[in-house]
Each structure stands twice: as structure tokens, then as C-alpha cells.
Amino acid sequence: MKGDVMPHQHCADRRNFLQLSVRLATLGILGLGLSPARPARAAQASDYKALVCVYLAGGNDGNNLIVPLDAARYTAYQSLRGDLALSGTELLEPIADAAGNPYALHYGLSELNALYNAGRLAVVLNTGMLHRPLTRAEVLQGNSVRLNFCVAVELSASSGQYARPIPLLWPSH
């Protein structure tokens, strides 16, 4: 009887269909977090923290996003930025990094300034742009991101910030 196949019967009647539908609906409601226990769990999770990283891939003028305020670095910033440098009236109230170095955010970022002052925002300085797609292993290795300031130092200050790496990345251009 090795080759014999047992007949398989499907008895789909209304009662079985309704029972299955109610079970699936209940499972769906619990899965969406609509159960009575959800508000209690949410109230207990008051220490929840999230790390949100926004990688703009060169789509932000970071040199006018956060500006150094100490005399030496602000003078260097003004000389490098020229007409694009922000004046004191275009900057928000000063903030400081862990070492006490003063910075100021662009005047359009008042909400971020408030979050920073409330201890709910941190800023990571001197990160660079991605110069090619990375594998997971390369990301974990951590040395495949080229720093903007390292590239810009070697080239003329008369070219745009985002045009400066082009000859290094694509020599044929």
C-alpha cells in the first residue's frame, strides 16, 4: 500500500468558517496592540530611548548647520566660508560639547536647539560622506567613510565643497 494515497477531506462548513474567522480577528486585534494590556505596558516603558541617525549623503551644508564660536575656529570658519559664513545674528544661543567648546546652530534649527538644551539631542561632529556602497562587513569594520575635511584641504578653496572630492573619486571627470 505504499503507493496508495489516503483521501483528504475538507469539510468547510459555516460553523468552522466562523470559528476560524473569530480566532483570526482576535489574533489580529492583539497583534495590533489593541489589547487591554497595551496601555499598562506603555506606561511602564518610560525610560525608552531611541538613537536616530540621519545620513544625508552629502545633501546638507554641514558647515552652516553647526558653527564653532571660539575666536580661532570662528575666524577660520569665516575665512573658509567667505560670503556663505553665518553672522552672529544668524546663529542661535550657544551650546557646548563635552569638552566645553562653544558652538551655535543655524537660526532655522530652533527646535533642535531646544531639544539639545533639554538633553534630548546629541550632535556627532566630523563625520564624512560615503564614497561608494559598502558591504555589511565594511560598515562593521568602520573605516570606509572618507572625511570631508581631509579631502577639501588638498584642493583649491575656490571650488564648491561637494565638487572637491570629484577628481579624487572619479579621476576621469
Residue 153 lies in a domain: yes
Residue 9 lies in a domain: no
> What is the phi-psi region of residue 63: left when phi exceeds 0, alpha when psi lies from -120 to 50, beta otherwise?
alpha
Whether residue 142 is found in the same domain as residue 86: no
At 116-168, the pLDDT tens digits run 888 888 877 766 656 677 777 876 776 544 544 444 444 444 455 556 666 66
Residue 135 lies in a domain: yes
- State the total domains in the chain: 2
pTM (whole model) above 0.85 = no
Q: For 33-55, give the DSSP string.
A: T-STHHHHHHHH-TT--------
Whether residue 92 is found in the same domain as residue 150: no
Whether residue 75 is found in the same domain as residue 134: no
Residue 145's domain spans which residues?
Answer: 128-173
Whether residue 105 is found in the same domain as residue 59: yes
At 20-51, the pLDDT tens digits run 666 666 655 555 555 455 555 555 656 777 77
Listed in sequence order, the residues at least 6 apart from 74 whose beta carbon sits closer than 8 Å to its beta carbon are 67, 68
Whether residue 57 is found in the same domain as residue 121: yes
